[in-house]
């Protein structure tokens, strides 16, 4: 019998599993979509540690990645908009695998008339593609040769290759050995640039000449990694890029009246700038203020360019970069100033733009914006690694490359600040932290949009600071059932959803995580360590999630699951309040509920009749095993109102149930419990229970050693229930007897 009692009555504290679960499931079906088993389910991570990736979110002891070094030459034919180039690629296989073929990106093939990317452009149009331009687009591969050295002689052998849309497979005559094997290729190529290249490159006509913004211009290595092997998804337009790191040595031949700017350091300034311009460059490198290198007046002056040659060769170098891009034009106004980095090193902010874009309300502030953006992110996250930071005005709305960005030539004021800051923010994601943009757009666009929200506050005493976001206003849109989850590949999203899912929603989620869950200090520490861990490496979403959790010390599975993996919604509601013993001086019990599938912490604003305002904060764990919750507020006077999420920082889709107001909301009267108090015993079970009134709850305490006390709430006439334990008490009319109902069993107790 004693064992039966322990199994029976002690389960009051442990809960009767079947009856409790059934009651909660019935409640969920009728009142709430929330299921804490889903929100807080275990086993979020499906992969264990490997030799290359730690479960803590950092690279493993045997992490590896391959390397691609490029020697590139390009000749610009201004009349034809044609680039003719040669690429000498040295590819190093640091993987443990032997490799018998290589995959390369030939991205210009997006602009071939029969490309896959063009075939999926709707008749209504798209930002992807070339806007219907009729021209001979695509990479023309003249030859590919394998270069080797035998007995001091350089030998070149033709390589077999096959082009499949925007990918090119090169078959190696001998397997490339693992753990450091190298192969060198020589590729001769050409292409005609589209005027509009998916808003990432193009050619802009200005009154003083064309502006060429050249990107995706040479065949680029696909990444071979420890996650997928070859990452050879086609370039369809929406998905951006995933590239290997390496060193670049580039020579660009352009008309002599052009100025060329490129990723990296200019090696031969004395050959391509006038003596006066070289002096100005030297001054800019030491100046906090913007120095004009070539003024608007000088653009139309032939003496502002070296004379005597039809073309000039511009040489640039950049190390440990994943790409290189450049721009060339006779129309460029150029200015520059010094960038100060935390280590004491210097970089150089440069702007190149046409006369039409000049002016103090427009591109005249571009270098100021560039300098501020680079210095800010270097302080916050990781030091800027490149010798220059170049902002180019062109017909690209905004696009990022290592050390150089292309921004809208028509942008002015705040718009120019925001696009400049956003594109240079991409230096950190994905130029430094080299995530797979083609699969996970949010890992560069979302993280970057998030850091932009902080830099806007930092810049020039908040000149372009945004107002706090009202998350209630956009909640239905951000969590609309028509949206795909954030983790969807960009090419798998509706184009109209890309801005929300790749940029806005992940950024806002990180703001919530920083401001409402972890706090700025813990979040920033974890975010900075993530950046440092994966600088110039290839992280996955798990690496980000695990790092944020391990450094902050919080299990955030519930957050990633709701915000990134699923498209769940949030609806927190206030149901009622009750003054303890019906007296406001004793405090109040507040009842809240979670009605949708997402869980978030709870913040409440409480205002008393005298106007005193206070805040109550509840951690997300209140929802870890509950769909509704009751808690005590220690007030000493009547409450005028209680508001869930008064600052509107959570994406609550139904704010109408967020407010309780005196005279309007339900004010529950405390039941009179005197008739139920006292000692009861059972002939069926050798136990005595003593009932007392604790803050309006009927609390039953077993005699010593027979179990912990349980609190019961009145649910009907003479009926009380413990939701947590799934146990009911039903008193008789005389209040001298009750039945305990639990797990399909009933035990009768009588007053002593």
- pLDDT of res. 441: 98
The radius of gyration of the chain from alpha carbons, rounded to an integer in Å, stands at 33
Q: Which long-range contacts (CB under 8 A, 24 or more apart) does 488-496 make?
A: 489/239, 489/438, 489/439, 489/440, 489/441, 490/238, 490/239, 490/240, 490/437, 490/438, 490/441, 491/233, 491/236, 491/237, 491/238, 491/239, 491/438, 493/238, 495/126, 495/127, 495/128, 495/238
| Residue spans per domain, the chain | 66-244, 572-661, 674-751
- pLDDT of res. 193: 98
- Residue 127's nearest CA partner among 191, 196, 80 is 196
The per-residue pLDDT for range 249-294, each reduced to its tens digit, is: 999 999 999 999 999 999 999 999 999 999 999 999 999 999 999 9
Rounded-to-integer distance, Cα 540 and Cα 440, Å: 9
- pLDDT of res. 152: 85
Please, what is the Cα angle at 526 between 525 and 531, to 5 degrees?
100
Which percentage of the chain shows pLDDT scores above 90?
88
- Whether the per-residue pLDDT at 16 is higher than 80: the answer is no
The per-residue pLDDT for range 404-463, each reduced to its tens digit, is: 999 999 999 999 999 999 999 999 999 999 999 999 999 999 999 999 999 989 999 889
Read off the pLDDT of each residue in 493-520 and give the average, rounded to a whole number: 97
- pLDDT of res. 704: 82
Cβ(321)–Cβ(259) below 8 Å = no
- pLDDT of res. 655: 96
- Whether the per-residue pLDDT at 24 is higher than 70: the answer is no
Helix axes 541-552, 520-533, angle to 10 degrees: 130
Q: How does the average pLDDT of the chain come out, rounded?
A: 94
- pLDDT of res. 19: 33
- pLDDT of res. 631: 95
Rounded-to-integer distance, Cα 389 and Cα 374, Å: 8
- Residue 685's nearest CA partner among 732, 742, 735, 731 is 742
| Cis ω for the linkage preceding 338 (within 30 of 0) | no
- pLDDT of res. 534: 98
Give the position of tokens 């994601």: 429
**Helix then strand then coil, % of the chain, to nearest 5:** 30, 35, 40
- pLDDT of res. 252: 98
CATH of 572-661, one of 3.40.190, 1.10.287, 3.40.50, 2.60.40: 2.60.40
* Strand-pair partners of 738: 731, 749
Across the chain, which distance is largest between two alpha carbons, in Å? 115
Which percentage of the chain shows pLDDT scores above 70?
96
Helix axes 445-458, 366-380, angle to 10 degrees: 110
- Whether the per-residue pLDDT at 9 is higher than 60: the answer is no
The per-residue pLDDT for range 639-672, each reduced to its tens digit, is: 999 999 999 999 999 999 999 999 999 999 888 8
Using pLDDT thresholds of 50, 70 and 90, give the confidence band for residue 18. very low
- Whether the per-residue pLDDT at 126 is higher than 90: the answer is yes
| End-to-end Cα, the chain, rounded Å | 21
Within this chain, domains 66-244 and 674-751 share the same CATH topology: no
Using pLDDT thresholds of 50, 70 and 90, give the confidence band for residue 13. very low
- Whether the per-residue pLDDT at 6 is higher than 50: the answer is no
- Whether the per-residue pLDDT at 27 is higher than 50: the answer is no
* Strand-pair partners of 317: 249, 265
- pLDDT of res. 14: 28
- Whether the per-residue pLDDT at 10 is higher than 80: the answer is no
Rounded-to-integer distance, Cα 322 and Cα 244, Å: 5
Q: Which fold has domain 66-244?
A: Immunoglobulin-like (2.60.40)
Phi and psi at 439, nearest 5°, equal -100, -40
- Which residues, 6 or more positions from 713, have their beta carbon under 8 angstroms from its beta carbon? 697, 698, 720, 721, 722, 723
8-state DSSP, 62:
T
- pLDDT of res. 311: 98
**Backbone φ/ψ region at 478: left (φ over 0), alpha (ψ -120 to 50), beta:** alpha
Q: What is 556-618 written as a DSSP string? A: -HHHHIIIIIS---B-EEEEEEEEGGG-GGG-EEEEEEE-SS----EEEEEEETT--EEEEEE
- The answer to whether domain 674-751 has CATH 2.60.40.10 is no
Read off the pLDDT of each residue in 621-634 and give the average, rounded to a whole number: 95
């Amino acid at each position: 019998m004693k064992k039966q009692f322990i199994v029976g009555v002690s389960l009051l504290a442990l809960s009767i599993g079947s009856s409790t679960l059934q009651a909660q499931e019935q409640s969920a079906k009728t009142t709430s979509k929330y299921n804490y088993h889903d929100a807080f389910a275990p086993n979020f991570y499906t992969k264990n540690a490997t030799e290359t990736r730690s479960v803590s979110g950092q690279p493993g002891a045997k992490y590896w990645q391959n390397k691609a070094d490029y020697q590139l030459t390009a000749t610009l034919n201004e009349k034809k908009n044609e680039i003719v180039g040669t690429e000498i690629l040295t590819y190093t296989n640091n993987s443990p695998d032997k490799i018998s073929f290589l995959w390369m990106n030939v991205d210009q093939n997006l602009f071939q008339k029969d490309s896959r990317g063009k075939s999926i452009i709707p008749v209504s149009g798209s930002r992807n593609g070339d806007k219907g331009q009729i021209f001979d687009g695509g990479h023309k591969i003249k030859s590919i040769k394998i270069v080797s050295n035998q007995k001091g002689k350089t030998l070149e052998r033709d390589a077999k290759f096959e082009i499949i849309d925007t990918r090119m497979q090169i078959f190696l005559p001998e397997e490339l050995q693992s753990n450091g094997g190298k192969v060198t290729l020589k590729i001769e190529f050409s292409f005609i640039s589209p005027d509009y290249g998916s808003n990432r490159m193009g050619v802009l006509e200005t009154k003083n000449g064309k502006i060429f913004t050249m990107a995706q211009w040479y065949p680029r290595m696909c990444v071979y990694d420890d996650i997928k092997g070859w990452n050879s998804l086609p370039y369809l337009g929406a998905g951006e890029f995933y590239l290997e790191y390496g060193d670049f040595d580039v020579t660009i031949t352009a008309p002599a009246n052009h100025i060329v700017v490129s990723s990296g350091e200019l090696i031969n300034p004395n050959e391509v700038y006038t003596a006066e311009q070289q002096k100005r460059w030297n001054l800019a490198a030491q100046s906090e203020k913007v120095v004009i290198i070539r003024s608007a007046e000088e653009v139309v002056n032939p003496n502002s360019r070296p004379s005597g040659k039809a073309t000039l060769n511009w040489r640039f170098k950049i190390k440990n970069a994943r790409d290189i891009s450049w721009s060339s034009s006779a129309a460029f106004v150029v200015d520059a100033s010094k960038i100060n980095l935390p280590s004491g090193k210097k970089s150089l902010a440069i702007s190149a733009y046409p006369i039409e874009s000049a002016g103090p309300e427009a591109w005249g502030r571009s270098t100021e914006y560039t300098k501020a953006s680079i210095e800010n992110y270097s302080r916050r996250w990781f030091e800027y690694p490149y010798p220059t930071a170049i902002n180019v005005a062109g017909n690209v709305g905004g696009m990022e490359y290592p050390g150089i960005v292309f921004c809208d030539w028509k942008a002015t004021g705040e718009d120019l600040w925001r696009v400049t800051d956003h594109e240079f923010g991409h230096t950190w994601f994905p130029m430094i932290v080299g995530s797979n943009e083609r699969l996970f757009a949010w890992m560069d666009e979302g993280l970057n949009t998030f850091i932009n929200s902080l830099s806007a506050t930092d810049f020039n005493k908040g000149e372009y600071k945004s107002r706090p976001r009202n998350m209630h206003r956009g909640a239905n849109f951000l969590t609309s059932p028509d949206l795909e989850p954030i983790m969807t590949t960009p090419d798998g999203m509706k184009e109209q959803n890309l801005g929300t899912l790749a940029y806005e929603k992940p950024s806002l989620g990180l703001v919530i995580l920083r401001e409402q869950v972890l706090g700025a200090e813990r979040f920033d520490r974890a975010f900075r360590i993530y950046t440092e861990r994966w600088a110039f490496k290839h992280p996955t979403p798990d690496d980000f999630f695990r790092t944020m959790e391990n450094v902050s010390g919080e299990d955030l599975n519930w957050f990633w699951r709701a915000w990134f993996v699923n498209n769940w919604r949030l609806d927190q509601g206030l149901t009622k309040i009750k003054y303890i013993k019906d007296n406001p001086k004793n405090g109040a019990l507040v009842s809240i509920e979670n009605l949708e599938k997402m869980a978030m912490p709870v913040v409440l604003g409480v205002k008393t009749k005298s106007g005193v305002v206070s805040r109550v904060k509840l951690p997300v764990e209140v929802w870890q095993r509950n769909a509704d919750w009751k808690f005590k507020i220690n007030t000493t006077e009547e409450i005028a109102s209680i508001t869930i999420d008064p600052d509107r920082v959570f994406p609550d889709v139904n704010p109408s149930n967020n407010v309780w107001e005196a005279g309007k909301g339900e004010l529950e009267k405390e039941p009179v419990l005197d008739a139920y108090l006292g000692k009861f015993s059972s002939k069926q079970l050798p136990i005595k229970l003593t009932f007392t009134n604790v803050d309006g709850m009927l609390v039953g305490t077993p005699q010593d050693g027979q179990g912990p006390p349980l609190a019961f709430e009145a649910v009907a006439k003479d009926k009380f229930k413990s939701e947590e334990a799934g146990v009911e008490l039903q008193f008789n009319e005389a209040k001298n007897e009750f039945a305990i109902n639990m797990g399909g069993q009933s035990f009768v107790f009588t007053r002593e």
